[in-house]
Every structure is written in C-alpha cells, then in structure tokens.
Structure 1
Amino acid sequence: MAGSRLPRQLFLQGVAAVFLFAFASLYTQIPGLYGPEGILPARRTLRPQGKGRWKQLWETPTLLWEAPLLGLDTAQGLELLSLLGALLALGALLLHQLRHPLVYLLLWASYLSAYQVGQVFLYFQCPHLPLRDSVPAHACLLVCPPAARLAAQAQRGGHLCHRDRSAPSVLRSHSPPAPGCLLLPAWPKVLLAVLSLLLELAVYGLLAYGTGRCFGLEVDWKQRTVHSKTSECQPGAQRAEAGPSLLTPPPSTAFTFHQFSQWLKTVTLPTMWLGAASLAWELLTALWRWTHVRGWLQKFCAAVQLSIFGTATVALFTVSLVPYSYMEPSTHGRLWTGAHRLFGTVEHLQLANSYGLFRRMTGLGGRPEVVLEGSYDGHHWTEIEFMYKPGNVSRAPPIVAPHQPRLDWQMWFAALGPHTHSPWFTSLVLRLLQGKEPVIRLIQNHAPSYPFHQQPPTYVRAQRYKYWFSPPGEQGQWWRRQWVEEFFPPVSLGDPTLDALLRQFGLQDKSPPRARSSSNALTQALHWVRKQLSPLEAPVLLWGLLGTVGAIRVTQALLGPRSSPRAKEEKHRPAPREHVVAASKPASPAPSTSSGSQTPRRKKQPPPAGPTS
C-alpha cells in the first residue's frame, strides 16, 4: 500500500485546495449577493414552515438553521461558515493530521449548507465541484485505510498479498492486480508493467486521433488556431453577421446530429454495464482478501467494514447512473426505477449530478453580453463596466482564476435569453437604483471606478451586444461588438414596470429584516474581519492565499526532518518470510537445571574458512 500513499495524499490536498478557494471566493461576495441589501438576500430562503426540526433539516440540509442561536442572521452565519471552512481547508492542506474523514465531512457539510441558500448563483457547474470532489475524498480516507489493514493482515497470513518489489520503482503502481501474477518471476512483471503503460499511451493517442477525425479539426500553425470542418460550427448566417472570420468554410461534415444520437444510444448502456462489471471485480477482490484474514476477531471487524463500505459504494454507483443517463433520453427512461427513487431521495445532498459541455457552443456567431447603462436625465447614458466580464472593447480579459465571480458569470447566462428568464436581474437593477454599496462592490471594488459612486443613477437600462475577439494585429482593441437589442427597459425607482416585475418574481421586501444586536462579540469579530479584507480584490486575496500555502510548504520541506530514500525503502519493506515464520513458532521450553548437574553449552562454531591459494 506504500505505492498509493503519495497519490492519495496529493488527491486529498487537491480536494482541500478546492474547498479553500471555494470558501474564500464565496466569502468575498456574500454581502452583495446574500446580505440584507444584496441581490438575493439569504434570509428569504430559510423561513420556518411549522415542520419538525429533523424534517426541516432533511429537506433543507444546512447548518445555517442554527445561526440565530449565535445571535447572527443568515448572511452573517454564511460568512462565519465560509471563514471556518476556509481555515479548516487550509489546515487540511498544510497538516497531515487534519486529513481526517471528520474534517472532510465538516467541509462537505459546510459547503452543502452554503449551497442550500446560494440560490441561482451556486446552481451552475463550477460551484458543484467541492460537493462532487468530497465524495471520492471520503472514499480515499475511509476505504483505503481498511484496505491497507486487510492487506497487512493477509500479508501476515499468506504470501499472496506480499508487496511486489521486483519491478522498478516507477512501474510498481502499474503492476498487474491479479493475485496469480504475484507468483511470477521478476522479468514477466516488468514486461507486463511496461505493456500496460504502452497500452495507456496508445488509448490516449486513439482518443485524440478519433476526436480530431470526428470533429474535422485542423491546426493552423501560422495563426495558432484550430479550425473545425463541422457544419454546425460554421453557420453561414452567423459568419455574415460576424464579419470576417478566421475560420475556413466547411468542406464536409464529419457526422450528423442523428448519427451522433444513434452513437450515444449504442454506447451509453454498455458503458453502464462496464462500470458495474468493474465495481463487481473490485468487490470480489476485496472479498478474496477478506478470506485470507487470520483470527476470528480481525475477520469479524473486516467483514463489518467490507459490508458498510461495499453497500455505500454500490449505492453511490447506483445513484450516479441517473445523472449519467441524462445525455441519452431513451436509456434514461429504461433505467431501473429503484435507481430513480434512490436518486430522488438523496438528490438534495448533491452526492452525484450531471456535468457536461454544451452540445452547441455559444459565441460562435458572437458572444452575447448584457451591458448595463445608467443616466440622471434619461437622455445621456453611461455604461456600467464590470471588473471581469467583457464590456469595454479596449480592456484585455482579466485573469481571475481561482476566483469565481458569480455575478459576472450569471450575467453571461442572462444574455442567452430574455430578462424574464433571470428574475435576479430585476433585483440587481433595483439595488443599483438604490445605490447599495455591497452590490456596487461586486461590479467595481474600487469606488472611483464606478461611474455613479457619488450619487445613484436615476434611470437604469440594459442593452444586449454580441462580442468577438478583434483580428490579430489590431492594436488598442481586444473586442469588436455589435448592438443586438434592448435587454431591459429604462426604469427608475417607483416605476410601475419595475414594481410589477418585482411582484411577479416575489422580490419585494414584504418585511424589513429584524435588527440584531451589534454588541455580540461574534458579530463584531465578523465585522472586523470584513473591514480588513474588503479593500483587497478577490483574485488578489486568493492568489495571496496560494502564495502563503506555497511559502509554508517550502519552509516545511526545508526545516522538516530529512530521511534518505534508502531509509524510506527499509521502513516500508516487509519483514523477510523466515522471520515471520520464526516469530509464528512457539518458543521452546528452557532446559531444566539441577544443582548436581549442569548442561554444558555448545560453543558457536566458527564459519568455514575460504579457499586458500
């Protein structure tokens, strides 16, 4: 099991890093998104409905139900949860002792709690990553240690589980898993390991070749671009509308939509059976190892562990089949009804969900973008530029990773349809007319960069544009854009149109938030932390965290205890079989002695002399 220790630790550190950036990025945006003056106040999502405590917690599993017990409102509880989650993830990233199942369970529960009140800003793609990645992290922490103990017990009971060290160190992780292969000499194991590596490389090469072949991809090394021959990627109307394009006309179509759908129908169900067969093989392998455990107590404990983790693994696999089959409707309809019921029972826990690329990528005929405008008189309009989304055609696209600007991201989704498909946009317009500072900081963290920082605009409207990257060599402009239509009509405070939209979407504040005492020590501490961190832009804060982690890890590597590779090898090397056999034999009784006689001791014979010349 020593060969899996390093990748296991790297994976757990990677999951901790994902949680760290997710919590830190969310924390910087809580006041503008979920605060009392935010776009979608979180307090609206947690309203007791007369249900029992446990039923309420099961339907909406979030720790924020307990925020009032600490004297905090929902948004303040979310801030506290994000800070604690970021600190816990930072600890798990730096300290080996904190990479414990309980720590990752707390991280998962904390982010699930935030997800329950995150509404539309946490419902798409990237925000699901921490919830998805934490499930295999728990599998690494909970399943691997029992497997290691099973292997160690089986190693004491028989030689079939003895770790193979005849293969080179680089190839040990690729040694054949079949138990019979462990009995082979050294050279067949090395040969099989090399062949497995070559097979993997060949599969990756075939996948790359097949992708380029099916989608008709061509590389233009002069312009450093990739062209596609498929007809869906080159609509003539969109090309004419977009003007000159770098892409060449399609000479042929690699496949039709009907052919692609038929291919999906052919491969979806067999891949499910392939996954089930792989899972069955792993379970049978674990059962085979269990049969070699010596001692009834050890065997009973191993059986309990195998039963629990085996059942949980089968349940998670069954749940995952439902979102996996979304891509092919006929297979989804023929799926076992028990899998649908099980998925529906645990769907709100986000244990498994679908994730995939768009079947037709947007932006080929121009990237749709919504541009907000404000005015004091209704005649002269000034654009409101965001920090991260496209707006000013002369501004280069910023690098924001690992930050996730959720408002800018949702602005792009809003541009894909009418504003009525994005009810939160009406609330955004209302907050800009009211001049709410937390929302303005989502748009521009530096107050003078916001054109209406001295006085809120009297009117706000929105226009829809299509953006393209400017051709290579064009100086001073990164984008080219074309006006499409009016996205949101001009409105002002008290406008009947605005009030009707707020009533339609249930966004009117029917009752003001209850004022909570600011003398609470916890509230004051949260306010102080927010005051210290608010001047920093979110990408700067996250990159600062990343640099801090890197500096601490380098310091740990320089000041930590050093051990030579030979010492590590000796540490993890199993004891020779002769010693194991000798230790398993009962000790022979000592010879009895009497006062009248004494058994002479046999002198140790010197080693035979070597040949002499």
Structure 2
Amino acid sequence: MGEVKTPRRMFLISIALIYVCAFSSIYVQIPGLFGDEGIVPVRLQMPKVQRPLLEQLEASPSLLWLGPSLGLGPQQALELICLIGVVLSLGAVLLGPLRDSLIYFCLWALYLSLYNVGGDFLRSEWDVLLLEAGFLAVLVAPLGLLRCGSSHKYHDSVTFWLTRWLFFRLTFCTGASKLASGDPAWYGLSALSHHFENQMSPTPLAWLVHQLPDWLLRLGAVAVLQCEITIPLMTFFAPIRRLRLFSFYVQLFLQLCHILTGNCGLLNLLSIALSVSLLDDEHFNSSALLKKKKGQEKKARGCTQTFLCVLAVLVELAVYLFILISTVILFKLQINWENKTLSSKTNFSQMEFDEFLKYFQGPTLWVGVLSFTWEAVAAMLMCVCTRGLVSKVWSLIQWAVITAAAVAIFALSVVPYTAMAGMSVLPEVREAYSVVERYQLVGAYGIQHRIISTEGRPEIILEGSYDGLTWTEMNPMYKPGNVNTAPPIVGPYQPRLEWLMWQAAQEGSDQSPWFTGLIQRLLQGKPEVVSLLQVDEAQYPFSQKPPALIKAKLYNYHFTDPAKDKTHMQAWWRRKYKEEFFPVVTLGDLAFEKLLEESGLKEKFPKQPSSDTPVSQILSHIRGHVKGLSGSLVLSTLLATLVGIFLIKAVFSWASGGKKPRPAAADHKTKKPKEPSETAEKSHTASLSTRGGKKDSEERKVDSEKSPRKRK
C-alpha cells in the first residue's frame, strides 16, 4: 500500500468529530439520566466506604472518582468530563497540532470514564467501537515528544493498518451475524421489507423506501449480505489498489443509505471513518497521478512490468466476476421477463453457512497476518534505508515499539473475532484479553444482532392518569408514538433513553431495571427526566402537575401502505395493541417500592450538598445556558459553528492564496535584469566564502574544480 498521509489525517479528524458528537450528546442528557434527580443517579455508584484512589481506579477505571478531590458532586464531575472532551475534540478538529497522540489518549480516557459508570445507557455497540477506534487513534496520531520533531514516520502504515483490520472485523462480523443467528428474515430475504420500520430511528425517507416493490427489497437484502460478507473477504486486503477503492465506495454507499433511512448514528460515522483505511495518498493527489502517468508514457515499459500490469487487470476482473457469479448462484437470481422483475432466493442453509464460517474464518486470520507482515517489513526496510546512522537507529527503535504494540492489539482482537465461529485461541492470548477487557481495547461485533420482527415494530407507550379512568399518552420526541407524527430527524444526536426503550420493547421489562427508575421520576414530575421525553412543555400533557398513576403498554407499529389502507395523508404509522408492558403503579405502592429496591434504585444514603467552588459555579453557569434546549438543537448548533469556522478558514486561505502571486508577478516585471558581470562577481564571492569555511584541503580542491562548471 502507498503513502497514507491524507487518509491518516482524515481518520484523525473524523474520530475527533465523532468525539464531539458523543460527548455533547451525553452532556445534554446527564441530568435526566445520571443526575441527582435522574433515572439512574450516578451517586449510587459512589463507594460508601472511602477507598484509596489507585485501588478504586483499578476496580473501575473512571475519572469520576477524582470529583471529590475537586470539590464536585458526581453529576458535575460527569459534566466536567464531557466538557473537557468536547473542548479537546473541537481543538483536534480545528487545529492540526492538537491531533497528537496525547490528546487522543485523553479523549479515550475521558470516554472510558463515562462508559464504566454509564451502565445500560452506555452499553451500545457504537460505544464499544468508539473506544476501540479511539485507542487506535492514539497509536495512529503522531507523538511529538517521542519523535523529537523528526520527519521519519515510516511506521505510520503499520498502525494505520490496524484501522483496516478493525473495519474488516466490524463489517464481516456484522454481515455474518445476520446469517449465523439463524434470522429467518435474512434467510428468506425479506429483511428489508421489515427493517425500515423496525430500525431504531427511521426517517421519513425510510417510509418511502418501504413502499418499494417486494422483489426490489429482496434484491437489496442480497446486496447488503454481499457487501458485508463477500466483498470484504475478497477486497479489503487485496494487493491490487483498484479493488480496495472499489470496496471503499461500496461501503461508503452502504453507510450513506443507512444514514438516509435510519438517521446519522455514531455507528455509521465510525464506519465511514474506518473506511478511509482502504485509501492512499495517490487517490487524493490527482496532479501527481497525472504526472506519473505522463512519465510512464514517456518511458518504455519492460516486459516484466507489462506482464504484471496485465496480470493485475486479469485478477481484478476475476474478482469482479467471482462476486457476480457467487451472487447469482448463492441467491438464485433469475430474470422474469414477463413481469420485468428479478427474483431471488437463498441457495444455502444455516448449517452450510455455519460450516463456511467455521472453515473460512481461520484463513481470514492468516490473510490478516500476511497483510500486516507485508506492511511491517516494508516499514522496516524504509527505516533501514534512512540516511544517517542516528536517524536510522532512531527510526528502527520507533518501528520496533510501534510494531510490538500493533502485534499485541492484533493478537487481542483475535479473541472476540473468533468467538462467533467458536475457534480455539491460545490460552495466553485469552488470559491477556481478560486482563485488559475492562479497558475496551478491542471489542466484539455482531454478537448483539437482533432477530427482525415480522409482526411489526414493538413500541412502549407510556400513559398517565390522575384518577385511573382517563389516560393520556406521553409520547417521546425521538421515537414513534402518535401515528400522525412523521419520523423525526435525530442524527448525529444520540438519544439514550429512546434507544433503551427500543431495546426494552424487544426484551421485556424484566430485562430493563432502569425502566422502574423512569416511572418513579415521571411520577415525581422531575423536570430533568421529563425533558428527555419532551423539551416543549406544551407537548407534555402533565407539565403542570405530575400524574398520580402511570402504566405502559406494548404496541406493534407498521408503516402505512397507501396502496392498501389509503392512510398516508392522515398517518405515517398504524399500530395494534399487543400486551401490557408495565402494570399500573403509584408512589408509595409496596410492590413498586420493592421493584425499586430490586433494581438498586432505592435511596440508601442522603444526597451530599453541592459545593460552591469556582469550577462548580462555572459548570452550573454552562448548564443554565443549555437547560431547556433539545439535544439535537445543541449538537446541530455546535456542528454548524464548526462548518462556519471551516468556511471562514477556506475563504481566508483562498483570499491569501489569490493575492500572493500578483505582487510577485509585478515585482518580476519591475525588476531589471542583472548584468552578467554582477552575477559572475556575486557567484565568485559566494564560492570563495564557501571554500574559506571548509577545513579539509581535498574538499577545497574538489570545490575549486567544480565551481567553474557551476558558474557556466
């Protein structure tokens, strides 16, 4: 693979931008989720018995435990962590010198601190992926202190290769889990017929795509499986550059489709950030590419070079042909000329796919080993060819350290990668993985695949009442409720409560102890929790007085079908009652109090009074400005500000770039040509001064012999 300076810079900027979205999204929701009056107060996790700081950090790595030493309560300590993360990530996005390994290590440590105390609200797949990608950014980013300003960065391709390996694991495991789980919707190729209404946060465009013909949606399911299984296997580590470019654009198109139909989530942004590992500098430097082509046209190609070029083209065509033929055979693609449709059907069983996964996942590891070895050896040879003994030794030391770290990360990633196929791993590697598992250096992907429901989208609907006779629904902002309300545009903001409610609707209330805390806070009328459901008080039916009774029902939601029910102009959804999700409860109910105690949400010690330190006052002041604003509005404003700054920088750069050549041209015109005698006199004086500064007599003779030629 060629130089990766531009893709590497794009990856670091993308990770910093994703950190901005992640930290700001969590910051807005802290009072309602983890605050003193939140659903799951983080103070309940604070140790009741004072323990040494190092011991506490070893048990649960989190900077939250430093809050008391700063005079901050648990909630404000979390807010400080998020604000520091936002500031550092914004700096890394805007300023190149801040894209340093130390900055990315701080960002990773801050997010790990939130992850370890966030409980169920921060246990999503994209949180694990962000921690692993963030740690890789620590290795990929330059470290000025160790490099001492050296320009030798030959080992960058070694660390950047780890991002490609992570992207392969993410893509392949996501696709393989769809079939390894035995999901009948994917084996029947009807997954997309239900996916758009079942996904976490559909968009209005998802409603339109849902109306496409069934045969086209089935063909889309075939394309998704091929993009996530076959194409990564054939192209991600291919030595032919055009195959990697083909794979990049395929994956980019797939993620853009996910964003347009399912909102812009952190998982999609992380996938796009990791996909740049398939690119190189030649893809961006078009001028250099044109010069290279012109130079190649001037030079006569040798027989060996011509043979290799022809062979590469033939291999590339063979890969494309294999992907096409495998698609036709595995999914029985047949053209129906009468109906002008393309029928499809899976031509393999789950047992056959399990056998394929068992026998082919091992070779993918060896392909990864060979690809990594190639990058490591190439980097080592470049270090060996460095001029100067000191530079050569220093480059080799850097290469050895970075390569050892990359080997360790690769070995640790083998454990979760092979879990799906049940492959055996060395006991030493598995033991090392268990030791560092709490730091989330590597993650397992695809294991959280959920069977797509063909009965509709299960949704929890909260209802409140004052007298037990008249019930009113409490519909959240970012999830389906009112059938006449269009699906919202949420991303890249990540509403954690709606995400957990979407999961709880599929798992049940027994698997969601936090739901009891949500009911308790709504009965108490806590504004911090109410703002998670509705920021606008006019949209919340119990804004004046909290309800006396609350219950939860489970409905199955479907997108409306204008061809059948003619309801598009009146409604986006149609729903059907399924069952009771949570019984009717009220404050003081013995059964409800028992549920709170079983969920670990019962208050066992009094709240500590807030301090008046300067840091606490600053945090309270910032919170006061954000209070009452929706999370999507806050994040959109922040991103719009970033875009504005980039536009201003681009305008100034263009303006300064446009003014520089003009004075130079004018000066060139006004300057008079120098006399030949003056030029010769100056060059003669310069050569004398150069020769006078050297001590070696032999070098002076060589310079005196060469100087007339230079003057000529």
* TM bracket (short chain): 0.7 to 0.9
Q: How far apart in 1 are the matches of 2:103 and 2:405? A: 19
1:524/1:204 CA distance change after superposition, 3 Å? farther
Amino acid corresponding to residue 35 of structure 1 in structure 2? G
Cα separation, partners in 2 of 1:6 and 1:186, compared to 1, 3 Å: farther
Q: 1:309 maps to what in 2?
A: 402
Kindly indicate whether the alpha-carbon contact (under 8 Å) linking 1:432 and 1:440 is maintained by their aligned counterparts in 2.
yes
Displacement of 1:28 in angstroms is: 0.6
The equivalent of 1:356 in structure 2 is 446
User: How many Å separate the matches in 1 of 2:80 and 2:537?
Assistant: 26
Higher alpha-carbon deviation: 269-278 or 376-385: 269-278
Could you tell me whether the CA contact under 8 Å between 1:374 and 1:383 is conserved in 2? yes
Equivalent residue in structure 1 for 2:698, among 585, 588, 611: 588
Matches within 5 A, 1:472-483: 472=562, 474-483=568-577
CA deviation vs aligned residue, 1:13-44 (integer Å, no higher than 9, x gap): 11111000001111110000000110111112
Alignment partners' CA distance in 1, 2:313 and 2:482? 49
Alignment check: 8 A CA contact 1:174 1:196 kept: no
CA contact (8 A) 1:215 1:228 kept: no
Corresponding residue of 2:456? 366
Distance 1:563 1:195 in 2: 44
* Displacement of 1:336: 1.1
What is the match of residue 423 of structure 1? 513
Instruction: Give the aligned partner of residue 44 of structure 1.
Output: 44
Deviation at 1:212, TM superposition (A): 7.4
Q: Distance in 2 between matches of 1:276 and 1:601?
A: 52
Secondary structure of 1:386 counterpart: coil
3-state SS in 2 of match to 1:490: strand
Deviation sequence 1:478-509 (CA, Å, 0-9, x none): 11111111010000001121111112222101
Structure 1 residue matching 2:152: 3-state secondary structure = helix
SS in structure 1 at match of 2:4: helix
The 1-side partners of 2:118 and 2:43 are apart by 11
* Pair 52,378 (structure 1): closer, same or farther in 2 beyond 3 Å: same
For residues 44 and 428 of structure 1, do their structure 2 counterparts lie closer, same or farther at Cα, with a shift above 3 Å needed? same
Q: Please, which of 513, 524, 540 is the counterpart of residue 633 of structure 2?
A: 540
Give the letter aligned to residue 601 of structure 2: L
Q: For residues 89-127 of structure 1, what are the alpha-carbon distances to aligned partners after superposition, in whole Å with 9 as ceiling and x for unaligned?
A: 111111112111111111111111111111100001122
Q: Please give the secondary structure, in 2, of the residue aligned with 1:326.
A: coil
**Distance (whole Å) between structure 1 residues aligned to residue 347 and residue 412 of structure 2:** 35
Query: 2:412 pairs with 295, 319, 338, which one?
Result: 319
Distance 1:529 1:392 in 2: 34
Gaps of 5+ in 1: 153-164, 177-182, 230-251, 568-584, 593-598, 608-613
* Number of the residue aligned with 2:66: 66
Deviation at 1:203? 4.7
What is the match of residue 584 of structure 2?
490
Change (3 A) 1:5 1:150: closer
Code of the residue aligned with 1:500 in structure 2: it is K
| Closer, same or farther: CA 212–36 of 1 in aligned 2, 3 Å | farther
1:467 to 557, 560, 568: 557
Q: Counterparts of 2:643 and 2:432 in 1: how far apart (Å)?
A: 42
Letter in 1 for 2:698: S
Residue correspondence of structure 1 range 338-417 to structure 2 within 5 A: 338-356=428-446, 361-417=451-507
**More moved, 183-192 vs 75-84:** 183-192
Q: Map 1:556-567 onto structure 2 (within 5 A).
A: 556-560=649-653
What is the alpha-carbon distance in structure 2 between the residues aligned to residue 454 and residue 600 of structure 1?
A: 97
Quickly say closer, same or farther: Cα 1:605–1:138, change in 2 above 3 A.
Answer: closer
2:535 is paired with a residue whose SS is coil
- Gaps of at least 5 residues in structure 2 are 156-280, 293-298, 662-694
Determine the structure 2 residue equivalent to 1:445.
535
Does the 8 A contact of 2:99 with 2:142 survive in 1?
no
Q: What secondary structure, in the 3-state scheme, does the structure 1 residue paired with 2:58 have?
A: helix
Is the aligned partner of 1:281 residue 2:371?
Answer: no
Structure 2 distance, partners of 1:549, 1:207, is 41
1:88/1:203 CA distance change after superposition, 3 Å = farther
Give the 3 Å change call, closer, same or farther, for CA 200–369 of structure 1 in structure 2.
Answer: farther
Which of 589, 597, 609 is residue 503 of structure 1 equivalent to?
Answer: 597
Distance 2:290 2:4 in 1: 11
Q: 1:259 to 1:42 in 2, by over 3 A?
A: same
SS at the partner of 1:465?
strand
- Contact kept, 8 Å, 1:174 with 1:193, in 2: the verdict is no
Alignment partner of 1:525 is 2:618: yes
Structure 1 residue 302, shift from structure 2 partner: 2.3
Look up the match of 1:77.
77
Q: Which residue of 2 aligns with 1:244?
A: none
- Secondary structure in 2 aligned to 1:28? helix
Which whole-Å CA distance do the structure 2 matches of 1:366 and 1:464 have between them?
A: 11
Partner residue in 1 for 2:189: none
1:223-262 CA distance string (max 9 Å, x none): 9xx9996xxxxxxxxxxxxxxxxxxxxxx54322212211
- Opposite residue 606 of structure 2, the aligned amino acid is P
Matched residue SS, 1:536: coil
Distance 1:135 1:167, change over 3 A: closer
Identity %: 37
Given the alignment of the two structures, is residue 55 of structure 1 paired with residue 58 of structure 2, yes or no?
Answer: no
Tell me by how many angstroms 1:85 deviates.
0.8
Name the aligned partner's letter for residue 370 of structure 1: I
Deviates more, 1:195-204 or 1:404-413: 195-204
Q: Measure the CA separation in 1 of the matches of 2:528 and 2:555.
A: 27
Q: What is the correspondence of 1:1-20 to structure 2 with a 5 Å cutoff?
A: 3-20=3-20
2:644 maps to what in 1? 551
Tell me: CA distance 1:328–1:539, structure 2 relative to 1, closer, same or farther (3 Å). same
* Equivalent residues, number: 535
Is the alpha carbon distance of 1:315 and 1:363 closer, same or farther for their aligned partners in structure 2, counting shifts above 3 Å? Answer: same
Cα pair 1:174 1:197 within 8 Å, conserved = no
Inter-partner Cα distance in structure 1 for 2:2 and 2:61: 38
- Tell me if the contact between 2:534 and 2:540 (Cα under 8 Å) persists in the aligned partners: yes
Q: What CA distance in whole angstroms lies between the structure 2 residues aligned with 1:46 and 1:412?
A: 29
| Secondary structure of the corresponding residue to residue 518 of structure 2 | helix
Q: Which is further off, 336-345 or 357-366? A: 357-366
| CA distance in 1 between partners of 2:54 and 2:711 (Å) | 78
Task: Tell me the alpha carbon deviations over residues 556-606 of structure 1, each in whole angstroms, 9 at most, x when there is no partner.
Answer: 111127569xx9xxxxxxxxxxxxxxxxx98834469xxxxxx99997799
- Would you say the 8 A contact 1:384–1:451 is kept in 2? yes
Amino acid at match of 1:356: G
Q: Distance in 2 between matches of 1:396 and 1:454?
A: 27
Please state whether the residue corresponding to 1:415 is helix, strand or coil: helix
Distance in 2, matches of 1:372 and 1:188, equals: 72
Q: CA deviation at 1:524?
A: 1.8
Match of 2:610 among 506, 516, 528: 516
Instruction: Summarize the Cα distance change of 1:50–1:525 in structure 2 as closer, same or farther, 3 Å threshold.
Output: closer
Following the alignment from structure 2 to structure 1, what is the Cα–Cα distance between the partners of residues 290 and 578?
56
Q: CA deviation at 1:59?
A: 2.4
Mapped to 2, the partners of 1:365 and 1:600 lie a distance apart of 91
SS of the residue 2:490 aligns to: coil
Q: Which residue is 1:335 aligned to?
A: 425
Structure 2 CA distance for partners of 1:52 and 1:523, relative to 1, 3 Å: closer
Could you tell me how far 1:75 is from its partner in structure 2? 1.2
Rounded to whole Å, the distance in 2 between the matches of 1:166 and 1:15 is: 22
Against the structure 1 CA distance between its residues 484 and 98, is the aligned structure 2 distance closer, same or farther, given a 3 Å change threshold?
same
8 Å CA contact 2:463–2:551 kept in 1: the answer is yes
Residue 240 of structure 1 is matched in structure 2 by: none
Q: Does structure 2 conserve the Cα–Cα contact (< 8 Å) formed by 1:167 and 1:190?
A: no
Contact 1:463/1:486 (<8 A) preserved: yes
Taking structure 1 as reference, are residues 496 and 11 closer, same or farther at Cα in structure 2, changes over 3 Å only? same
Q: AA paired with 2:98?
A: L
Shift of 1:469: 0.6
